[in-house]
Structure 1
């Protein structure tokens, strides 16, 4: 049933007006909240804006006109107290470093800029107004950043390290083939010599090669990580050959395993040639290898039959040192004390390893005492701690 306008209650019209008024007030409150939020967002300080400095520009000058600020991220809150739209600029000579344009009278604008050390000028509204000045003083962070090398400076170190890796991978293939040839000839003494020669080349590239798990699991699997240990079909590569050559002194059935090692070495050589390291990989690879050595190899050794772990360690250190040595010139410019510390720690570790020789040969690892192993561990831990600082010093983190 419909109702005519005359049938509505007298209170309905004022009630509707009250509702409309309430809605209007609510809308204004929402708008005000949004404006306050926008203002707060624009004027907030924090890591993304740095410290905020207020500038009031009137018809004839800025207040303040002169600033002395530390280098780094800074925000200027520019208020237009003049009667005309204005611009506010930071100038380096005639070059505009940063600017805000068309700030309307009575309004303000934020300008966030990363200041670098130096002397700069400030325009204050009209071009006829006197200029202000900005002195930016260096900080520890700005000095560190200034000393960091540009990315193109890493081209030489990366190329030099890549050549080293390729040469070691090529030598690994040659020595692995010579090992297979000695096994085929039934020459146990030569096979043992070639096993060690091939293994040293692998250990020099292990900081990179060890990242390819499929190849590492064929070239250098540890029996302890296999379900069947030495009897497991996956027990292949260097340690399976080591057991036969140094444990059993038996070449029977060993040729297929030696040939497989040669094939895997060929694959490794191809991957080394194809791979491209990034600048941060140089120090990271050395640090990664140091952590692996600290976790197990130094404490208990890896070659139970050949007892040649000190040879392994020296070869590992050679490869790790190479990836750090190619960075030495850059690191001296960025952080000379760290560069000197790395060189000294590497020398101390190398001396400790060489002290475990008898004549031209290293001691069997079983003859290295707990105290001597602990010393190696401490020296490597110290070197690793310094390696962990290299990328940050070079601006690569």
Structure 2
């Protein structure tokens, strides 16, 4: 018979109650730590991603003053008026980002990368007072590493500025010929010249749409004026278009045409004086194509003169110019993106050509809902590809 264990023998096992308490305590600590991490992560995501709410009424923005940290920000714009509205972020006369055709009672979001500074925002009708947007410095704004150099962009920037000058000069020349035909009382010639005169302007629209004051004088949308087509401030191409193709009368159009020539002269001078920056070249195509796919095409703003497809072709010519200039910059840093942009641009051109061909043989030149959906999808794919350019190219802070 073996001897019993003494105190110096095998240690006594802890009771099951103590073990349960230890496990429970450890579990609580893990849960608390996990909850703290989740809360911190969630707060970080909220700070970086949460949309900033803005309401647009018939008279102003609510709130009328906003403050956000620099970096990529999302705004949620609610239309609390009874008419479609637009909301723009302006740096002086330059449009940094915008949403058009926000329907009454609806919300739309706008994502934009903002540098520190003070900006203005438009609030619905062009006659409404503007709001203010203060963008404060942040670490996020300087977080992305550079990928390309200023030296690589100098050639494309210079060539694009030359292209803008050449096309704006052509737009001015064609507008003067249109004004001369209107002054001479030649309706048929004026109708033919109108369609031609818009094309150079539409080719440089990816940059021109940044100039809020000139855009609202040269190619405004009647819905954004208090009295719409009858508003005295409604001038430019579309006011001339109504006279030529709706009333089919030249009465009162001569001063409107002269004003168009004067505004295009100002545009030509402004483009010559404009300092070309990497941002203008890199961002313009994506921003403008997004505006087309998101706001203009779904809104069914068919032109009276039935120039929709011709206008889109000219827009694509301008986008193609930017893509061609940036291709040698993009390929070395992101060849897959370069291929993606080329493929979506070709597909979009093919879709517009197909729609134009279909319209030429159809009884109605207005795009059907299904056709408009196809166009919107093509331009959306192109916009998605073009909007990858800024992060793919980047820029060295020292500009070398």
* TM-score (structure 1 length as normaliser): 0.60
Partner of 1:368: 367
Quote the Cα distance in structure 2 between the aligned partners of 1:362 and 1:326: 36
1:331/1:394 contact within 8 Å kept: yes
2:207/2:280 contact within 8 Å kept: no
2:350 is paired with a residue whose SS is: helix
Partner of 1:149: 148
2:298 is paired with a residue whose SS is: helix
Relative contact order, CA 8 A, sep 6+: which one is greater?
2
Partner of 1:188: 187
Quote the Cα distance in structure 1 between the aligned partners of 2:369 and 2:179: 36
Partner of 1:248: 247
1:325 aligns with 2:324: yes
1:353 aligns with 2:388: no
The CA deviation at 1:322 is 1.2
Total equivalences in the alignment? 253
1:338 aligns with 2:337: yes
1:222/1:239 contact within 8 Å kept: yes
For each residue in 1:125-166, what CA deviation from the matched residue of structure 2 results, as whole angstroms up to 9, or x when unmatched?
A: xxxxxxxxxxxxxxxxxxx979x4321110110011111111
Question: In 2 relative to 1, CA 180–324 (structure 1 residues): closer, same or farther, beyond 3 Å?
Answer: same
Partner of 2:164: 165
1:292 aligns with 2:291: yes
1:236 is paired with a residue whose SS is: coil
Quote the Cα distance in structure 2 between the aligned partners of 1:339 and 1:167: 27
Partner of 1:135: none
Question: In 2 relative to 1, CA 181–361 (structure 1 residues): closer, same or farther, beyond 3 Å?
Answer: farther
1:220/1:237 contact within 8 Å kept: yes
Quote the Cα distance in structure 1 between the aligned partners of 2:241 and 2:351: 26
Q: Name the stretch that deviates more: 252-261 or 296-305.
A: 296-305
2:329/2:393 contact within 8 Å kept: yes
For each residue in 1:174-217, what CA deviation from the matched residue of structure 2 results, as whole angstroms up to 9, or x when unmatched?
A: 00000001001111121112111221111111111111111111
Partner of 2:307: 308
Quote the Cα distance in structure 1 between the aligned partners of 2:363 and 2:307: 6
Quote the Cα distance in structure 2 between the aligned partners of 1:368 and 1:337: 33
Quote the Cα distance in structure 2 between the aligned partners of 1:173 and 1:215: 13
2:294/2:380 contact within 8 Å kept: no
The CA deviation at 1:361 is 5.6
Quote the Cα distance in structure 2 between the aligned partners of 1:379 and 1:193: 29
1:166/1:269 contact within 8 Å kept: yes
Quote the Cα distance in structure 1 between the aligned partners of 2:149 and 2:217: 39
Quote the Cα distance in structure 1 between the aligned partners of 2:177 and 2:220: 21
1:173/1:262 contact within 8 Å kept: yes
Partner of 2:264: 265
The CA deviation at 1:359 is 8.9
Q: Write out aligned runs for 1:40-55 (5 A).
A: none
Quote the Cα distance in structure 1 between the aligned partners of 2:360 and 2:271: 30
Quote the Cα distance in structure 2 between the aligned partners of 1:150 and 1:211: 25
Partner of 1:53: none
Question: In 2 relative to 1, CA 277–149 (structure 1 residues): closer, same or farther, beyond 3 Å?
Answer: same
1:207/1:289 contact within 8 Å kept: yes
Question: In 2 relative to 1, CA 334–322 (structure 1 residues): closer, same or farther, beyond 3 Å?
Answer: same
- For structure 1, the 5+ residue unaligned runs are 1-143
Quote the Cα distance in structure 2 between the aligned partners of 1:380 and 1:322: 16
Quote the Cα distance in structure 1 between the aligned partners of 2:333 and 2:233: 47
Partner of 2:278: 279
Quote the Cα distance in structure 1 between the aligned partners of 2:186 and 2:299: 30
1:219/1:261 contact within 8 Å kept: yes
Partner of 2:98: none
Quote the Cα distance in structure 2 between the aligned partners of 1:363 and 1:267: 40
The CA deviation at 1:287 is 1.2
Report the RMSD for the aligned CA atoms in angstroms: 2.2
1:241/1:258 contact within 8 Å kept: yes
The CA deviation at 1:303 is 4.4
2:341/2:382 contact within 8 Å kept: yes
For each residue in 1:337-387, what CA deviation from the matched residue of structure 2 results, as whole angstroms up to 9, or x when unmatched?
A: 110110010000000000123499697985322111111111111111111
1:391 aligns with 2:390: yes
Question: In 2 relative to 1, CA 180–271 (structure 1 residues): closer, same or farther, beyond 3 Å?
Answer: same
Question: In 2 relative to 1, CA 370–247 (structure 1 residues): closer, same or farther, beyond 3 Å?
Answer: same
Quote the Cα distance in structure 1 between the aligned partners of 2:299 and 2:192: 23
Question: In 2 relative to 1, CA 282–362 (structure 1 residues): closer, same or farther, beyond 3 Å?
Answer: farther
* TM-score (structure 2 length as normaliser): 0.60
For each residue in 1:211-263, what CA deviation from the matched residue of structure 2 results, as whole angstroms up to 9, or x when unmatched?
A: 11111111111111111011100110011000000111101121111111001
